[in-house]
Structures are given as C-alpha cells and as structure tokens.
C-alpha cells in the first residue's frame, strides 16, 4: 500500500464572506493548515541604492489569486448535486502595506483583520449593476402577511452572504443560474501555473508540491505497474493507494488518515481471496501488508544549511528521501529500510536519508497514525523540495521519475521481497 495526502495549506472562503472597507470589495477568508501566509502575498527583495538590503523589507509581491472548490446546486428536478469549479481569472489579491508606511524589523500581521483579499472597488461594482444596490431601492414589503407568504429560507441566500458578482462567476463556472447555488466550499489558489525552471530545466516551480507531488507518483506508479496484460498473472498481493484529505489539519475527519476509511476498505478486500477465514482474514492481511507513507521531504536549503543535521542533508534530483525519527514522528524502521532499499536496487534509483537535528522540532505524516491504527509495517519517505507550505514551492524534475520508478518497483516486487526479510 502507498498512502499520501492531497491537501495543502490555503485560505478558505468564510460562510459569510461579504465585506467591504474604504471603497474596496473584500472577501472574508479563514486559514487552513499551517501555511507560510506571507508567501500568499509577497516575495522579492527591495534594495537600497547602494545595494544593501533593507532590514525591514517585506519579502515578496502580491499574488494573483482566484477561487476553486465544490459547489452544491439545486438542479431542475429539485435534486441537490455537487459541481466542481475553478475560476481561472485572477479576481483576488491580498495587498501588503507599503514599506514606507510601516518599517517593521520582521514582517507580522493579524490573520483576522489583515489577511482579507480585495476583489475590486465598490464604485466599479455600482457602475456595473446600476442603482440596484443603492439605499432606498429595495422592493421588499413591510406587510407582514406578504412576508409570511414568501418561501421560508433558514439561511440567507448565497448572494446575500457573499458578494453577488462572485456568486455569479461561481454559477457561470458551474453552468447553473446564481439562484441555484445552495452553498459552497471554496479555497483561494495562485493562478500562476507550474513551470519547469533552472538553468538546465532541472527544477519544478509550482504550488502544492506538498503533497500532490507524491500523490502523482503514487497514481502513476500504480497505473504503470499493471500496464502489461500479464502484470497480475502471478500476483498474490493487492496493490492499493489511498489519498487522504485533511492531513494538514490533523487527519481526524471522515476523509482523513485517522478515520476508519482505510481499515474498512482493507477489511472488505481481505475476504476476497479463495479459502480465506473471514474471522481472521483482516488481521492476517494487516500482518502481511506493508504501507509506504509518501509525503514530500525537505531538501537542504543553501541559505539555511545550519538548520539541517550535518550528515543528513537531502539534495534535489538525487533520489527519494527515507525519513527517520527516533521519537516516532516518522514510522520508518530498519526492516522497512532494508525492503525499500532492495526495491530501489532493482529499479536502479537512488535513495537518501533524513533526520532532523536534536535541537530542532520535527514534522510528522500520516505514517505513524496509520501504523498505530492498522498495526502494519510502515515506512515514511518523500521526494525532496524547498519552501514547503509556501504558495510557490520548488522540487526536482528527476526526482519525479525516481519516485514513480521506486513505487512501481514496490508494487511489482513486494510479494517476492517480503518473504526474504525475517524479523523475530
């Protein structure tokens, strides 16, 4: 099995997002996960005329943001259905305060009051809609009998809780009238597309590499591992990937890795084989299974090399990183390292090792919680990247191929290799 997660830190539109201030239309948002929030707005470097950097600079420039997510709409038959939408046009921007107005030594801001995107100008919206939104033009009646005759709505309409024009754009993407929108879950995203960079096209500049990078490697490897018509002829194992949501906020949701989702799937699969004893098939399957927890790893950053343990500095484009932690923040152990190393040997792909410094905190993954819930052997690994949780991250082009080949080999050779590793 390979487990990964698909979510990334972001900003999510609040249930009531309609705001305005000082002539600007604004959108209320809340933070999701532990993001480097200043990167949602800024990057770059301001220099004095003598080329010495200002100490109180804000590191960046404002990003072109838009909306994507799930919309619940009522169709013509009265059914409420889900639509996935992505507005490709940049419509939002979180403006920073000019350095001339606040010369901070370190850039700080209030996430509740200073993180609201602007979506345009009130005056421009009034010009677009005419006088419809001006005071005194409402057509609502003061007659209580007429009010009671209107259809009861437990919540305000979407066009009242959110700016009407934003609701119109969402409805257009969903292919429905604005009045059909019941509710939505939308997040902000950077409209700048991923690209290949570096002097020799060896780098990937992209949003959400953590953890769509390892999700991509998992899906591609699973598909490639069964591309041959005879790939499963002698296979006695089930090849499975599980891509979870909500890892960035603790995984304790119905779609998260700490839920009953994966155990329930394995329990149902465990009784499929001929002659399996249903009473113990699940436990036997877990005892003979192996889980690879695939989550992006940290490449050494040349500007902060002292933050890394001297003998464990993963480099980009030099292979997937095995993550180890004595305090079980990662689930890796020696039998797992022996197994994955043999897979890598057969696939001719390099591997690297990573531990954090003793004086540094350590992140974690879905690996330890799944290992605890399932009791199955688990190993944590991931491809190296820079700027994890930034709105623009950096990865290695060749590491993607290494990851795919490693996972493909894991699926193809596990059944044979598992029998050769003995642990008392």
145-154, 373-382, 400-409, range with the lowest pLDDT:
145-154
CB count, 10 Å around CB of 412?
22
Q: What is the mean pLDDT of residues 94-112?
A: 83
Does the pLDDT at position 133 exceed 50?
A: no
pLDDT at site 279: 83
pLDDT band for 36, please (50, 70, 90 cuts): low
Q: What single-letter DSSP state applies at residue 387?
A: S
Does the pLDDT at position 268 exceed 50?
A: yes
Mean pLDDT in the chain? 89
pLDDT band for 150, please (50, 70, 90 cuts): low
pTM of the model: 0.88
Does the pLDDT at position 397 exceed 90?
A: yes
pLDDT more than 90, % of the chain: 76
115-124, 141-150, 346-355, range with the lowest pLDDT:
141-150
pLDDT at site 130: 75
Per-residue pLDDT of 52-80, as tens digits, reads: 333 222 322 489 999 999 999 999 888 99
CB 185, CB 69: distance < 8 Å: yes
pLDDT band for 110, please (50, 70, 90 cuts): confident
pLDDT more than 70, % of the chain: 88
CA distances from 275 to 70, 161, 272, 284, 285 (A): 43, 58, 9, 13, 13
pLDDT at site 62: 83
pLDDT at site 143: 56
pLDDT at site 52: 33
H helix intervals, 185-230:
209-225
CB 365, CB 247: distance < 8 Å: yes
């Amino acid at each position: 099995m390979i487990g990964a997660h698909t979510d990334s830190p972001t900003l999510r539109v609040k249930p009531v997002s309609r705001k305005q201030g000082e002539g600007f239309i604004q959108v209320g948002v809340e933070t999701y996960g532990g993001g480097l929030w200043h990167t949602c707005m800024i990057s770059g470097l301001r220099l004095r005329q003598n080329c010495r950097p200002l100490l109180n600079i804000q590191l960046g420039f404002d990003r072109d943001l838009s909306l994507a997510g799930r919309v619940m709409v009522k169709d013509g038959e009265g059914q409420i259905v889900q639509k996935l939408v992505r507005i490709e046009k940049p419509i939002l921007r979180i403006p920073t305060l000019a350095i001339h107005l606040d010369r901070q030594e370190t850039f700080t801001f209030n996430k509740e009051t200073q993180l609201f995107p602007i979506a345009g100008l009130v005056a421009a919206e009034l010009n677009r809609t005419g006088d419809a939104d001006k005071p005194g033009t409402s057509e609502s009646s003061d007659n209580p009998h007429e009010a009671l005759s209107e259809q009861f709505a437990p919540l305000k309409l979407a066009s009242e809780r959110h700016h009407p024009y934003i609701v119109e754009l969402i409805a257009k993407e969903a292919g429905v009238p604005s009045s059909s929108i019941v509710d939505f879950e939308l997040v902000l995203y950077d409209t700048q597309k991923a690209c290949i960079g570096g002097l020799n096209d060896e780098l990937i500049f992209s949003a959400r590499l953590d953890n769509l990078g390892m999700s991509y490697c998992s899906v591609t490897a699973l598909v490639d591992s069964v591309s041959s018509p005879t790939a499963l002829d002698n296979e006695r194992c089930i090849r499975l990937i599980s891509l979870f949501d909500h890892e960035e906020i603790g995984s304790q949701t119905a779609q998260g890795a700490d839920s009953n989702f994966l155990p329930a799937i394995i329990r149902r699969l465990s009784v499929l084989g001929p002659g399996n004893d249903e009473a113990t098939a699940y436990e036997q399957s877990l005892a003979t299974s192996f889980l690879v927890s695939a989550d992006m790893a940290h490449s050494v950053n040349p500007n902060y090399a002292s933050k890394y343990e001297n003998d464990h500095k993963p480099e980009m484009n030099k292979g997937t990183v095995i993550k180890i932690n004595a305090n079980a923040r990662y689930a890796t152990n020696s039998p797992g390292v022996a197994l994955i190393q043999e897979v890598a040997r057969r696939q001719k792909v390099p591997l690297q090792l990573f531990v954090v410094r003793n004086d540094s905190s350590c992140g974690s993954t879905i690996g330890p919680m799944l290992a605890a819930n399932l009791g199955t052997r688990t190993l944590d690994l991931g491809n190296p990247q820079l700027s994890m949780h930034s709105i623009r991250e950096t990865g290695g082009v060749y590491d993607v191929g290494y990851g795919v080949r490693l996972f493909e080999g894991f699926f193809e050779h596990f059944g044979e290799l598992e029998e050769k590793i003995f642990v008392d």
